[in-house]
Amino acid sequence: MKSIAIIGGGVAGLSAAVYALRANAEVTLFEQFGLGGQTANLGEIENYPSYKSIEGWQLAQNMIDQAKALGLKTVRERVLSVTKGQQFLLRTDKGEYSFPAVVVATGTAHNKLGFEEPYVGKGVSYCATCDGNFYRGKAVAIAGGGTPAVREALYLADVCDKVYVIVPYEAFRAEEMAVNNLVSRSNVQVLYGSQVSEILCDDVVYGVKVFDGEVKTLDVSALFVAIGAQPVTDFLQVEGVQRKNGYVVVDDRCATGAEGLFAAGDVTNGPLKQIVTACGDGAKAGSFAAAYAGMISKGQK
């Protein structure tokens, strides 16, 4: 039986699982948290083909249900390292596993301001769609100027009384339509060329200090941090894998420079980080990983 491992349970990993399972591979998916990845935490999604609008959790659940119906096996363990001998050896926090082919779909982890960690859970969050409702009718701030920040700020504008958007650049670096939508909101105030310099917190956050040449204090109940992300690849210790700015370099089959190792989704050096592109990557990675494992099982490699 040809078998593959998939590391990461977001939409790229789930898509890879569906395609590999349909190719009659035995698939084991490693995910230390819940399935669905960042998509499960998104609010309304309007750019996924076949849906005029769908909630992120629902889209993720549809993919989870599809993969499980095909026989997906999941292991809720953290992968600590991947090395290669005759096969790939996966070491987790609970054991060791070996597979002839592996798909890495671990996505990205949030960038941090560098001083907010003590206040996480006290009013600092990295996910507006997860925690925004806790601040319904209140004033909040969000730090960031890219597409993720704009998307999160739009969600906050729907539930909060006032939203301060602290943009570190002189202009947004995001989709024009989304930016126009955001700045048109009467309860949104954008502070360009600004940085969060201090978080004011007793038991809970009650304000932030912002620096734009001079210090200003914003009276807010929460700060959402949306300043980008870094690929999660620290566990990958396989010779031949190339990286560009930390992202795994893949070819048009989503294959890496190490034979039998594939990567999909936001962890790769692909130019667009979207749900639909992650799913496309997963389809390729899952298909070619299954084919590679099949050749190994037949002694053709």
CB 260 within 8 A of CB 101: yes
The catalytic position among 131, 160, 254, 266 is 131
Number of H helices, E strands in the chain: 6, 22
Is 131 considered catalytic here?
yes
Distance CA 169, CA 36 (A): 32
85 Cβ neighbours under 8 A, 6+ residues apart: none
Residue 193 tokens read as 């060329």
Residue 38 tokens read as 């960042």
Is 252 considered catalytic here?
no
User: In sequence order, what are the beta bridge partners of 80?
Assistant: none
- Long-range contacts: 203-207, Cβ < 8 Å, 24+? 203/122, 204/122, 204/123, 205/119, 205/122, 205/123, 205/124, 206/123
CB 256 within 8 A of CB 240: yes
Is 160 considered catalytic here?
no
- Residue 16, classified by CB atoms within 10 Å of its CB into exposed (0-12), middle (13-18) or buried (19+), is buried
Catalytic residues: 127, 130-131
